[in-house]
Structure 1
């Protein structure tokens, strides 16, 4: 019997799937030439993959309903007073996840975690394969888990449902196995099955991975996040057995600069950097306190009062995502963006790429199909301030340096 990844099976698959499968490594390693115990003694064979945590369709629906009923009310996004910079960065990443996530740094008690968690309500539903622990996209081979990909190659019909985009909180004390997933070595040796227990990265695929106090995260977990965020894949290797699955997520981190700085390598991986501060205006502080007290008294009624604004913002995001591909950025403006990056000595090209993407996402959010200089001026400090080299003798804020250079280049 031919392997599902044999040339014959590949030719039988759809052209799009074959093209996608040749663009990056296959999910499974090549046949493992090891002796595996079986009922007839020892034999040479190929491991098959089995997700021990994959729920059935009925279980998934039951859990989804139970979770919805027991879910505690979330503070509505439009009700958040102030912090416009942070809210804009989050919205732009929802419109274009390829921007690369947001790093939110600011004082404690400024609503960083509240704002991120309220973002989930705004996200549109996505199509997923029923029972798949990786939130596989039934129509995109590049975002399919190994089992779903095998089923597509075999010509099986995939059961599809829609679900809310998930947000996964990464606890500071999480182990690497909890984040990446684990392989049941005993089952692999006795039954020849790659029994894989998916971790948080699998759950975060096509969703949001939120790391609170990211500057306190262990270095080895930071390295794991960097690898997955950069490649969009998570690979688990144990005792010569290797399993890979897609792990594409919007990486959002928050932290207090008083508790320590981040490594430059980690900072550079975040597409945008939002700086939040404590509100100083007394009237505004009173308004924030009153709104929070009203939410605590009656969360459902409070959420209902912001329902129209919430739906309006959801429609705006949906429209922006659908129109993003048609937004144009003039070549002259691209050159000026790159000139700003070059004159600020920004390492690498991530700054150029992210600024282009963020400016397009902002134009789409405003309902336009052309990027203006004003759009670039709005996003470029958030895209570049965390990429500048630190000068201990420099007293001016890095964001102001970016603004000064922008006006110098753009006139």
Structure 2
């Protein structure tokens, strides 16, 4: 009996203390704002009221008590702002925040919802705190940016859920849901880089431009800065740092995609990705240190990465590469897969990487074959971009880019060799 009472007391205390803590957390942020009618005590008490209502609802089997408490809090706040209106603070945010505090307090009473209540309360407090920053951010958004966000929402929340999750065609290689999930994944990564580029702009120098450009499109970044170098020869070193950094980000990007799509293969892929990235990073840092200050950085304008046409194009490329990889791997073994990797890697390294990961998950290729295919695609992609730089910018920049790309290739090959040696030893 004593143990039972102790357990009940602990559960009782935990529910109410969690509710009080969440209310005080949100109230702390509201207390800082002099125009807010609800502060630290009001939010703490409201969260406790939510827990009390949840307790009574559980005890009397009357879930309507929670809804009644929520309506009472809403009526109280609306009446407060109606009696004493404040043109500087219409109270909408505080009313919604207080209702959330009540809801989180009610959730905190139930053990199965307690962790979710804590997470949601923290997220809500963050949104309340960063009001000014979010306002500045939204003021920077252009119509094109809003369209990009809406298009990504269509790709991920409208199209993806309605696609069938099953294999079609020869080898059952084409799974519409999986194909479009890769489209959403690539578009999301690219959109994140695009958004960061729009927010950060050109203020933080060449390395940041290279990182953000590599997230959106390393090929487009290489082409844009090769063109800038041709038009303004004094930008040669700047273009070199941006181009090299953007292509180092590709290695990080591929590792991240592997961690998301096929985490079991990450350990095998990481040596060559890490080797190439470290070797290239040494060259990039040396070039950046000798570059000197660049106050006037040229704009890096990139296309919206979530356009429906762009998404459909990538989806089609991925599906074709996936089918060709499965087909050629079946009739020609690893040599067929490697041939597709070299060919497709010239223009898009994401598609062959995701295709190799997919084939590995279907047990159609081994880990060694998948990792080798990705490495060949990266080498082919570097060769293609070096050719682009040579044609667009000329020999002077191409020679410097070739030095950086060679370091990436040698480092990647060294990592691949170490991985191969460990496979043989295993």
Normalised to the residue count of structure 1, the TM-score between the two structures is: 0.24
> Which gives a bigger RCO, structure 1 or 2 (Cα 8 Å, sep 6+)?
1
Higher strand share: 1
Higher helix share: 2
Name the larger-Rg structure. Answer: 2
Normalised to the residue count of structure 2, the TM-score between the two structures is: 0.23
